């Protein structure tokens, strides 16, 4: 499993910022699905790991809000938000330190797409988010599950530490779960090299910063074909306190 170096993660995503939108088609679908699970109006909204705005562009025109806050570990994205979303208050912040973000404020909606898996402790992050919700507030997350990129993990021995099925079920039981669903989706490419290029263009550079031997590429093709598995998970929890 990869140990997460936040500086490396930020650097890889920033390098891919011009390729991301054209290659992150699964993340775009996830954003659309996540939006369909939400209501229409929230007083204070916080978007975590907003990136270049894949989810933001769907939420911003659809939701009625008083205050919309967003943060990402990459501070340079402020330019995008200042130009496209002047009413959103963007900050550079690490999601694993959410308890220090505007600590006196509670949110009616905390939302995040395709970011939670980059937390150093995703379970603790979700619990921390629940503590930042106002009464009847909603936490809505789209992220990746443990079968994500299973081919990469199997052949190259690298991968993120995803939340297990048991942990997700435990969280769903512990809090007021409004929605939980998951599925796997296999994407076909011309060959394993194209798969690695695709991954790099979605900002997940750490997955391919390992020695790529021809023998491993042949093994990939033999065992899996030119296919990559995505495992989207959707979790919506309510704070009934």
Which CATH number characterizes residue 141's domain? 3.40.50.150
In a domain, 199, yes or no: no
In a domain, 177, yes or no: yes
The per-residue pLDDT for 140 is 98
In a domain, 18, yes or no: yes
Q: What is the pLDDT along the chain (241 residues), one digit of tens a residue?
A: 556 778 888 888 888 887 888 889 999 999 999 999 999 999 999 999 999 999 999 999 999 999 999 999 999 999 999 999 999 999 999 999 999 999 999 999 999 999 999 999 999 999 999 999 999 999 999 999 999 999 999 999 989 999 998 999 999 889 999 999 999 999 999 999 999 999 999 988 655 556 788 999 999 999 999 999 999 999 999 998 7
The per-residue pLDDT for 92 is 97
In a domain, 203, yes or no: no
The per-residue pLDDT for 23 is 86
In a domain, 207, yes or no: no
The per-residue pLDDT for 77 is 96
Rounded to 5 degrees, φ, ψ at 206 are -60, -25
Q: Residue 171: which domain range?
A: 6-146+160-186+229-238
Total domain count, the chain? 1
The per-residue pLDDT for 61 is 96
In a domain, 82, yes or no: yes
Contact 219, 188 (CB under 8 A): no
The per-residue pLDDT for 210 is 63
For residues 70 and 34, what is the distance between their CA atoms, to the nearest angstrom?
Answer: 17
**Contact residues for 231 (Cβ-Cβ < 8 A; gap 6+):** 144, 145, 146, 147, 148, 150, 162, 182, 183, 184, 185
The per-residue pLDDT for 207 is 52
Residue 181, both tokens: 């669903």
In a domain, 193, yes or no: no
The per-residue pLDDT for 209 is 54
Q: Indicate the pTM of the whole model.
A: 0.94
In a domain, 204, yes or no: no
DSSP state of 235: E
């Amino acid at each position: 499993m990869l140990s997460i170096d936040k500086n490396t993660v930020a650097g890889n995503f920033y390098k891919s910022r011009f390729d991301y939108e054209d290659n992150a088609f699964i993340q775009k679908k996830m954003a659309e699905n996540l939006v369909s699970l939400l209501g229409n109006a929230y007083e204070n909204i916080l978007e975590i790991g907003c990136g270049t705005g894949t989810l933001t562009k769907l939420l911003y025109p659809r939701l009625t809000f008083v205050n919309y806050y967003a943060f990402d570990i990459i501070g340079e994205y402020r330019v995008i938000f200042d130009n496209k979303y002047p009413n959103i208050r963007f900050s550079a912040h690490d999601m694993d330190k959410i308890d220090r973000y505007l600590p006196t404020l509670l949110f009616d909606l905390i939302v995040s797409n395709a970011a939670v898996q980059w937390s150093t402790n995703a379970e603790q992050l979700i619990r921390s988010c629940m503590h930042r919700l106002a009464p009847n507030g909603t936490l809505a997350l789209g992220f990746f599950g443990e079968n994500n990129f299973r081919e990469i993990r199997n052949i190259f021995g690298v991968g993120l530490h995803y939340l297990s099925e048991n942990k997700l079920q435990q969280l769903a039981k512990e809090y007021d779960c409004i929605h939980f669903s998951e599925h796997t989706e296999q994407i076909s490419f011309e060959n394993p090299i194209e798969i690695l290029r695709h991954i790099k263009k979605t900002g997940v550079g750490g997955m391919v910063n390992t020695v790529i031997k021809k023998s491993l590429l042949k093994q990939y093709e033999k065992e899996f074909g030119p296919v990559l598995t995505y495992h989207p998970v959707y979790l919506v929890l309510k704070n009934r306190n």
